[in-house]
Amino acid sequence: SQQGEEDPQALSIQEGENATMNCSYKTSINNLQWYRQNSGRGLVHLILIRSNEREKHSGRLRVTLDTSKKSSSLLITASRAADTASYFCATDRSNFGNEKLTFGTGTRLTIIP
């Protein structure tokens, strides 16, 4: 089974609303990362949260990590049309750091203008 699974698979909200995506994983991790992928493009790194951190902010993004529940959430506040994309969580379980990211199945976010 996949290491990371995002929930929901697809999400449509009105512009200006907040969007929350969740990620669950199965084994212990060094860190968890969130990436965005616009249609037809490569992935763009959004935020990295280490296993000893519980919450992290970057602009309109807020990520939480609960290692006891093996889950993470990504909150995008005051959504904009440009936020329309697929969002992936990725877990790093490698011994040496970041050589082996395991990506989740992704959440397709659509912001309705």
- Contacts to other proteins by CB under 8 A: 2, 33, 35, 37, 40-45, 48, 86, 88, 96-103, 105-106
Cα distance from N-terminal residue to C-terminal residue, the chain? 36
Least Å distance between CB 58 and other proteins? 11
Pick 10 or 81: Cβ nearer other proteins: 10
Least Å distance between CB 97 and other proteins? 4
Least Å distance between CB 69 and other proteins? 23
Pick 11 or 15: Cβ nearer other proteins: 11
CB neighbour class for 1 (10 Å; exposed up to 12, middle 13-18, buried from 19): exposed
User: CA–CA separation, 94 vs 33, rounded Å?
Assistant: 13
Measured in degrees and rounded to the nearest 5, phi and psi for residue 82 equal -70, -10
User: CA–CA separation, 57 vs 12, rounded Å?
Assistant: 23
Pick 18 or 51: Cβ nearer other proteins: 51
